[in-house]
Amino acid sequence: MRNRVLTCLAAGLIQATPMQAQDATVYPFEGTFEDATFAVENAIVGRGLVIDYVSHVGEMLNRTGSDVGSTTQIFKAADAYLFCSAVVSREVMEADKLNVTHCPYSVFVFEDETGVQIGHRNFPSATMQKVQALLVDISQEAAAN
């Protein structure tokens, strides 16, 4: 699944407007990777949410590339911010308890040769639209900073 999302993202990064792949939407960020991560952190924490974990995906890929026989640098940097909302999570899980599979939620930031992008996974199911709206709001707020 993770490879499919990355492939979808990489295929559409030439666009300068928000891009929607099958599994994710990305927004261009005018600034540095560090500024983008700061904006994402502020957008999450500013809603009273707690960041549970920051996954340093870019560092891991850069560190392990040679171990798996690759010389391709996918990202200059990439982080994923994992968090949850008690209010939104309760609502979507009361609608369908199997929505637990989507928790925690994440917003990601990456930098590659095209620039810095902020994005989130898409949830097409009706019961996950509250989460979808939350992720869109956080990503758009961060991208606008």
Model's pTM, two decimal places?
Answer: 0.82
HSE at residue 94, side-chain half, CA atoms within 13 A, is 7
- Averaged pLDDT of the chain: 88
- Of 9-13, 61-65, 86-90, give the lowest mean pLDDT range: 9-13
Quote the CA–CA distance of 89 and 97 in Å, as a whole number: 10
**What is the set of domains in the chain, with CATH numbers?**
2-144 (3.30.310.70)
pLDDT category at 63 given cuts 50, 70, 90 is very high
Helices (H), the chain: 2-11, 33-45, 57-64, 86-95, 129-144
pLDDT category at 145 given cuts 50, 70, 90 is confident
CB atoms within 10 A of CB 84: 16
Residue 43 CB-density burial (10 A; 0-12 exposed, 13-18 middle, 19+ buried): buried
pLDDT for the residue numbered 20: 54
3-state SS, residue 121: strand
pLDDT in tens, 102-120: 999 999 999 999 999 999 9
